[in-house]
A and B are shown apart, each in its own frame.
Chain A
Amino acid sequence: AQSVTQLGSHVSVSEGALVLLRCNYSSSVPPYLFWYVQYPNQGLQLLLKYTTGATLVKGINGFEAEFKKSETSFHLTKPSAHMSDAAEYFCAVSPRSGGYNKLIFGAGTRLAVHP
């Protein structure tokens, strides 16, 4: 069965520092890959996704992620953190087979940004 591992349940960075949130998946066939963000007391919203084509994907709010098949990874980065980036981030995968949109989520990483 597919699974998603997010390394680090909590990450803390200084404002202006690099943000790196790690995500690895386990599947023999690379799935579709997603990053969602959840701000406090809100639902999830899509940051970015990889389906096909260029392996470096740009999303909203300056985030980007790179699909690396050899490492089964899809890490999320942002060059310079803002206070407003404080939120919980979820990596998710959707199998390429199966014919419908089924998401499997990682446990989430809570990002704290301090002055």
Chain B
Amino acid sequence: NAGVTQTPKFQVLKTGQSMTLQCAQDMNHNSMYWYRQDPGMGLRLIYYSASEGTTDKGEVPNGYNVSRLNKREFSLRLESAAPSQTSVYFCASSEAHGTDTQYFGPGTRLTVL
């Protein structure tokens, strides 16, 4: 099993450009998440999908959109990138209950110039 995979690993954008970060999991998990990690701030939830067909905002959703394409895939889109979106982005998946472990992908390092 590959677990949680993310593409691309690295990306450099200019301000105003758009891009989509891809995430897929092969663990048959119901829930998927997008986080951003910034120095000194831990991980902050951008959006999550509790189950296939649903998406909800997390703590920092502004400037992002998501699509739960199917049970396996959950994408994050930046429509008009800004320097404040320079960060490391992690996708995660889990079963739905609060006791369940979240499994993380390797991350995408995004720089917006």
| Complex Cα–Cα for A113 and B80 (A) | 42
Residues from chain A with a CB closer than 8 A to the CB of B105 are 43
Minimum CB–CB distance from B34 to chain A (whole Å) comes to 12
Which of B42, B97, B99, B106 is within 8 Å of A90, CB to CB?
Answer: B42
Contact of B45 among A46, A95, A102 (CB under 8 A): A102
Q: Chain B: interface secondary structure?
A: loop
Contacts of A94 on B, CB cut-off 8 Å? 98-99
Task: Give the size of the chain A interface in residues (CB under 8 angstroms).
Answer: 27
Inter-chain CA distance A36–B90, complex, in Å, is 14
Q: Are A102 and B101 in contact (CB under 8 A)?
A: no
User: CB distance B44 to A105 under 8 Å?
Assistant: yes
- Interface 1/0s, chain B 23-48, versus A by CB < 8 A? 00000000101000000111111001
Q: Chain B 82-113, CB within 8 Å of chain A: the 1/0 string? A: 00000000101011111111101111000000
Q: Bits for A78-115, please: 1 = Cβ < 8 Å to B, else 0.
A: 00000000000010001110111111011110000000
Which residues does B use to contact A, with CB under 8 Å?
Answer: 4, 31, 33, 40-45, 48, 50, 90, 92, 94-102, 104-107
